[in-house]
Amino acid sequence: MNLWSPTTLKEILAKHNLTLSHGLGQHFLTDFGILAKIVEKAEINSDNAVLEIGPGAGVLTRLLAQAAKYVVAIEIDKKLLPVLAETTGDLGNVVVVNADAREIDFDRVMTERTGGEFGFEGKPYLIVANLPYYATSPLIFKVFEEGYRVSSMTLMMQKEVAERITAKPGSKAYGSLSVACQYFSEPRIVLKVPRTVFFPPPEVESAVVRFTLKENCLSSEERLRFFRVVRAAFATRRKTVAKSLAGALNLERHYVEEVLLKVGINPNLRAEQIPPESFYRLSQEVVGGKW
């Protein structure tokens, strides 16, 4: 079965009376060379467990299964389950879970689906995915906010989002997503992908970003403060960071300025001028229970 052929994919979908959902961002990658490069960039070895989000018709899933010890594929669309059964049912190291990846506990799913026989309970795992564009940012934030046992992520996404993730302080593209990704990981664009290699082709160009997650011991409370402060700082980009924080967090301006100065941040800077590490120091500076 040549899943890397648009003709074959059309035949499989027609067999199951399926049409692709624009609302779910269903664009299937059909270029074998690019699929193979994604697996290569993910640096998967035979001892790894992989979480795939949005397997679609199972095109990437089959290649992941060849490289990894075990693959858990999370698919939101029930209508694609018969397709996945046909395209991946012969693979003994693949399990498909029908769920919305935005709403499930990744660690729990990986423990339940790869524990016991495969011995992955409590161990780090990789995420590899051709993400639906509408869910890219929420899913990335989810990994960092929850502190999952993820060692790396290799994600296909809209090129514009990839550029935001890797943007440097002081640039127009730098924002809360940049801060989160660069504080909790080392992201880099490893592959650019033209729209012509998808079925059906999307309206935008794509890119693959590899995230190597950093080791950190932040508690749930520390993570909560970090993201609250970052989002508040970028709430009004045209204002200074002092004004943005004071307004979004309902704090006195003079108090915010004092805290900013204490951690070495000029209160007159804008959020897009502040590096990720400074946001961490700022978020942990709690005085009198405020923040």
Residue ranges per structural domain of the chain:
6-213, 220-285
Residues in the chain: 291
Burial environment of residue 190 by CB neighbours within 10 A (0 to 12, 13 to 18, 19 or more): middle
Whether the pLDDT of residue 270 is over 60: the answer is: yes
The pLDDT of residue 122 is: 76
Strands 185-193 and 206-213: antiparallel
The helix (run of H) or strand (run of E) holding residue 109 is helix 106-114
The answer on pLDDT for 22 being more than 60 is no
Written in H, E and C, the secondary structure of 44-107 is: CCCCCEEEEECCCCCHHHHHHHHHCCEEEEEECCHHHHHHHHHHHCCCCCEEEEECCCCCCCHH
Neighbouring CB atoms inside 10 A of 204's CB total: 12
- What is the pTM assigned to this prediction? 0.92
Average pLDDT of the chain is 91
Query: Residue ranges for the binding site?
Result: 27, 29, 54, 75, 100, 130
Helix axes 220-233, 136-146, angle to 10 degrees: 140
DSSP conformation letters of 134-196: GGHHHHHHHHHHHT-SEEEEEEEEEHHHHHHHTPPTTSTT-SHHHHHHHHHEEEEEEEEE-GG
State pLDDT tens for residues 159-206: 999 999 999 999 999 999 999 999 999 999 999 999 998 877 788 899
**What integer pLDDT is reported at residue 289 of this predicted model?**
58
Q: Which tens digits make up the pLDDT trace of 86-119?
A: 999 999 999 999 999 999 999 999 999 886 665 6
Q: What is the pLDDT of residue 20?
A: 61
**Alpha-carbon torsion, ordered 99, 182, 221, 251, to 10 deg:** -120
Residues 6+ apart with CB under 8 A from 157: 131, 133, 136, 206, 207, 208, 209
- The CATH architecture annotation of domain 220-285 reads Orthogonal Bundle (1.10)
Q: Residue 165 contacts by C-beta under 8 Å, 6 or more apart in sequence?
A: 140, 177, 178, 181, 182, 187, 209
CATH number listed for the domain at residues 6-213:
3.40.50.150
Higher pLDDT: 21 or 208? It is: 208
Write out the two tokens for 72.
């858990």
Query: What six digits make up the tokens of 228?
Result: 């609250």
The letter for the amino acid at 94 is V
Q: With 70 as the cut, is the pLDDT of residue 147 above it?
A: yes
pLDDT the model gives residue 39: 98
What's the CA gap between 46 and 65, in Å, rounded?
9
Annotated binding-site positions for S-adenosyl-L-methionine? 27, 29, 54, 75, 100, 130
- Taking 90 as the threshold, does the pLDDT of residue 28 lie above it? no
Greatest C-alpha distance within the chain: 67
**How far is Cα 117 from Cα 35, in angstroms, rounded to an integer?**
29
pLDDT at 120: 66
Which sign, positive or negative, has the C-alpha torsion 111, 122, 45, 106?
positive
